[in-house]
A and B are shown apart, each in its own frame.
Chain A
């Protein structure tokens, strides 16, 4: 079971790597903003699988933190990328 979970985590990370190549290539900023979401979801999946395979209970805490921070970073990306006069009072 542990080997299977490790292999599944590796597979998920491989799909994330492929997606990352596409997302970082862009062009344009909207694509790059998606990198945070891609890494967030894929990273959480890998962390949960590793946590169970390596018997590491703290991996779930890291996954929770990652979920929150990926959202925060995505918001920061969007705000940084679409600065308009309307935002500033």
Chain B
């Protein structure tokens, strides 16, 4: 049982790390600030989600697992809304809908 859980953790954490790499590659290669912001927010948060998912299998109780998920939710919500704010700062001339 623990072997299966460990395998799931390794799989999920590895894919999460790959997404972090993808986010950085986007950061390095994309031509303008908004697409870099896009790469940073989406890829890194997805990577974080996968890592949290992988770590859930290692948690010993529901409260620890819940805390881990709440970290990810907080990071996701904060990241998504802050990205909107930064994007508007990058293009101040655009009229907001």
Please report the C-alpha to C-alpha distance between residue A57 and residue B63 in the assembled complex, in whole angstroms: 12
Given contacts A30-B33, A41-B44, A44-B71, contact A49 B51 (CB under 8 A): yes
Chain B residues closer than 8 Å to A38, beta-carbon distance: 27, 40, 44
Contact B48 A41, beta carbon cutoff 8 Å = yes
Q: Which of A12, A18, A40 has the most CB of B within 10 A?
A: A12
Chain B residues closer than 8 Å to A8, beta-carbon distance: 13-14, 16-17, 51
Please report the C-alpha to C-alpha distance between residue A42 and residue B37 in the assembled complex, in whole angstroms: 15
B41: nearest chain-A partner, CB-CB: A37
CB distance from B89 to the nearest CB of A (A): 5
B contact residues vs A (CB 8 Å cutoff): 6, 9-10, 13-14, 16-17, 20-21, 23-24, 27-28, 33, 36-37, 40-41, 44-45, 47-48, 51-52, 55, 58, 64, 67-68, 70-71, 74-75, 78-79, 81-83, 85-86, 89-90, 92
Please report the C-alpha to C-alpha distance between residue A75 and residue B85 in the assembled complex, in whole angstroms: 8
CB distance from B74 to the nearest CB of A (A): 5
> At the interface, yes or no: A56 with Cβ under 8 Å from chain B?
no
**Contact pattern, A 1-20, Cβ under 8 Å of B = 1, otherwise 0:** 10011001001100110110
A5: nearest chain-B partner, CB-CB: B13
